[in-house]
Amino acid sequence: MLKKIKIQFPDKSKKEYEQGIKASSIAEGIGPGLAKAAVAVSVNNHLQDLEKPITKDAKIEFVTFDTHEGQKVFHHSSAHILAQAVKRLYPKAKPTIGPAIEGGFYYDFDIKPLNQDDLKKIEQEMQKIVDENLEIKREELSKKEALKLFKDNEFKKEMIEELGKDGQTISIYRQENFFDLCRGPHVPNTCKIKAFKLTKVSGCNWKGDVNNKSLQRIYGVSFPNKKQLNKYIQLQEEAAKRDHRKIGKELDLFSFHEEGAGFPFWHNKGLIIWEEVLNYMKGVIKRENYQEIKTPIILNKSLWLRSGHWDHYKESMYFTKIDGIEHAVKPMNCPGGLLVYKNNIHSYKELPLKAGEFGLVHRHEMSGVLAGLFRVRCFTQDDAHVFCTEKQLTDEIKKLIESIIAVYNTFGFKEYQIELSTKPEDAMGSDEMWEKAEEALRVALKKAKIDYKLNPGDGAFYGPKIDFHIKDCMGRSWQCGTIQVDFSMPERFELTYEGKDGKKHQPVMVHRAICGSLERFIGIVIEHYAGKLPLWLSPVQVKILTVADRFSSYAEIIGEQIKKAGLRVEVDNRTESVGKKIREAQLSKANYILVVGETEEKEKTVNIRTFFNKVLGAKKVEPFIKELLKEIEEKRIPQE
């Protein structure tokens, strides 16, 4: 008779099963709907395959496509189907890497240049693989066995050599006669991937290094059903009209240049938006009693070793030498913030101590994933760190949650999903430390009456986190804000405060960002509003158009009056038809278009319409200015 094990579900209910039961069987027992929807399972906060036996008492939660982690599993499995299809059609092709990315997946191949017709053939072969309902199985090999298995693929061999020492187990996933080096988890069979589309192919280089072999990168998207794919295609058509790169070029906001790939160049009008967001966020931290600090962009190796970034984040960092000593360009602001805290002696009376930094960080991104402001190599983080006692921790997290939601509402993002990400495989610190941190986040979410989804194993290497995924007007999800609880860094940096008992104690560090990256957040805002920004953000708030040349003087007087009130205004007194000037003003996304002619000059008024072509009629200038200032103060969302 098999031993029984206890399984605890998210609602805290428990049930006994035979030892070695698979999560897929548990799902089937609960209901066919769950069995169909589940793509993986979290067992004691560790993500694994549905077909892996559960051998001891465990807390489990099924992961579905409607979670961030579920989509990663689904998309990565789709990348394996793509690789199998390519190998069937082009046996000499060598697969390299094929990760899930935001919204989809890609796979890089050492193969001849491909075109759109090739993608159609590959799609057809992928459909055959899906229809064949192939089981996707995990296997574990020794390093020696793995090197032998991939003996004809120098890219995989290089990855195996980098994975670790001899004796370390290496996992692969196999479907029929195709196999791939992978940590997993994956969906249990190919039939789960019901709907997919290959979107484009482009050139790239192995590991993003131009000195390495040239490869072909195939991008794709996938969904559990055709309806979701069709919706995605419709959204892409709408998104193309709203593309921030296209709008940025049309409105002269920013540009990108080969001389600095992945580094945005802000133009005057774009910088206005950037500074408005920055100043608003500075106002937020000022109201919430944060100190504002600024730390260096380049810091030496010893700091990054101490923080753990050198071991856990090195692949994403840039390096230089100063006086023969290795330094790194900071990818995160937190180590600098730790040094600022450590510079002074602190008492429990100061806690919670809050410090905000709008720090410029640099991260190495592969050229193939750069995407306008959405994926850049340098960006400004709206970072803040709260140093508090363990007793204060839950309340401080709750305040941060409320603050983040209030900011999103101000920008017009009313819908969001929150995910709790737990201990990853490369975590620093003890299990006890992680459990305390995760429990603090869970309790704070409960106190704030926030529904959330679990994202197992996706925490930062130094602590668990809450991630905020905002939804734009097209229903697309964007991960922006984060709250991370960190017991590890204060321990590594030996941070202390003097308690009521006169003894030294260690504070807890809470990392938080709201926009995440100002650059990326601005890109999201531009697409959300299709460039028709709220008045307070708009680089051109008012545009004055003349009916004829003789009204230029009146237009300039009105322009100066509006400018003195602190508003951003442009005058268009060109010798062009009014109709043409109105059309161009609307294309420039100026919030208010004022037409002045004989009647307006005589009656000291302006004739007003909005960028939605809503005609407001004639108004006196002073009352109109007051209305605009009130709209800015209230940060109103534009209405058609």
Over residues 553-566, mean pLDDT:
96
Interaxial angle between packed helices 116-131 and 68-89, expressed in degrees from 0 to 180 and rounded to the nearest 10: 110
**Dihedral sign from CA coordinates of 524, 529, 533, 539:** positive
Check whether 39 has a pLDDT greater than 70.
yes
Q: Is residue 231 part of a domain?
A: yes
- 46 closest CA partner among 459, 340, 507: 459
Same domain, 428 and 337: yes
Beta strand 353-362 with 378-388 is: antiparallel
Q: Is residue 315 part of a domain?
A: no
CATH assignment at residue 283: 3.30.930.10
Same domain, 588 and 490: no
Q: Is residue 322 part of a domain?
A: no
Domain range for residue 589? 542-634
| Residue 608 CB-half CA count within 13 A | 19
- The mean pLDDT of the chain is 92
Same domain, 23 and 77: no
Residue 268 confidence class, pLDDT cut points 50, 70, 90: very high
Same domain, 336 and 435: yes
The span from the CA of 160 to the CA of 139, in Å, is: 15
Same domain, 53 and 73: no
The more confidently predicted of residues 461 and 351 is 351
Over residues 95-110, mean pLDDT:
93
Q: Is residue 142 part of a domain?
A: yes
Q: Is residue 299 part of a domain?
A: no
18 in Cβ contact with 2 (< 8 Å): yes
Check whether 255 has a pLDDT greater than 70.
yes
The span from the CA of 621 to the CA of 596, in Å, is: 11
pLDDT at position 102, please? 82
The span from the CA of 360 to the CA of 377, in Å, is: 10
pLDDT at position 367, please? 75
Same domain, 28 and 106: no
Q: Is residue 29 part of a domain?
A: yes
581 in Cβ contact with 574 (< 8 Å): yes
CATH assignment at residue 601: 3.40.50.800
pLDDT at position 397, please? 93
> CA 75: distance to chain centroid?
16
Q: What is the DSSP letter of 97?
A: -
CB burial of 543-564 (b: ≥16 within 10 Å; e: otherwise) equals: bbbbbeeebbebbebbbeebee
CATH assignment at residue 183: 3.30.980.10
Interaxial angle between packed helices 268-287 and 390-410, expressed in degrees from 0 to 180 and rounded to the nearest 10: 140
End-to-end CA distance of the chain: 69
Check whether 365 has a pLDDT greater than 90.
no
- Give the DSSP letter string of 194-228: -EEEEEEEEEEEGGG-TTS-EEEEEEEEEESSHHH
pLDDT at position 166, please? 63
pLDDT at position 45, please? 81
User: What is the percentage of the chain residues whose pLDDT exceeds 90?
Assistant: 78
Boundary-marking domain end, from 23, 43, 64: 64
Beta strand 615-620 with 605-610 is: antiparallel
| Structure token digits, residue 186 | 């994956």
The span from the CA of 636 to the CA of 410, in Å, is: 8
Residue 465: Cβ-neighbour burial (10 angstroms; 0-12, 13-18, 19+): buried
- At 60, is the secondary structure helix, strand, or coil? strand
Same domain, 41 and 189: no
Over residues 192-208, mean pLDDT:
92
pLDDT at position 429, please? 80
pLDDT at position 369, please? 76
Same domain, 426 and 469: yes
Q: Which residues 6+ apart lie within 8 Å of 537 measured at CB?
A: 273, 276, 277, 525
User: Against a cut of 0.85, is the pTM above it?
Assistant: no
Same domain, 281 and 368: yes
The span from the CA of 249 to the CA of 276, in Å, is: 20
Q: Where in the sequence numbering do the catalytic residues fall?
A: 334, 363, 381, 383, 385, 465, 511
pLDDT at position 164, please? 64
The span from the CA of 486 to the CA of 483, in Å, is: 10
Q: Is residue 317 part of a domain?
A: no
pLDDT at position 165, please? 64
pLDDT at position 11, please? 85
pLDDT at position 1, please? 58
Q: Is residue 304 part of a domain?
A: no
pLDDT at position 533, please? 97
Same domain, 574 and 477: no
Same domain, 556 and 522: no
**Dihedral sign from CA coordinates of 546, 547, 553, 558:** negative
Same domain, 98 and 76: yes
- 327 closest CA partner among 280, 362, 375: 362
**Dihedral sign from CA coordinates of 22, 24, 25, 26:** positive
CATH assignment at residue 45: 3.10.20.30
The more confidently predicted of residues 68 and 303 is 303
Domain count, the chain: 4
User: What is the percentage of the chain residues whose pLDDT exceeds 70?
Assistant: 99
For 128-169, the pLDDT digits (tens) are 999 999 999 999 999 999 999 999 999 999 999 887 666 678
For 598-639, the pLDDT digits (tens) are 999 999 999 999 999 899 999 999 999 999 999 999 999 988
The span from the CA of 86 to the CA of 216, in Å, is: 11
Residue 544 confidence class, pLDDT cut points 50, 70, 90: very high
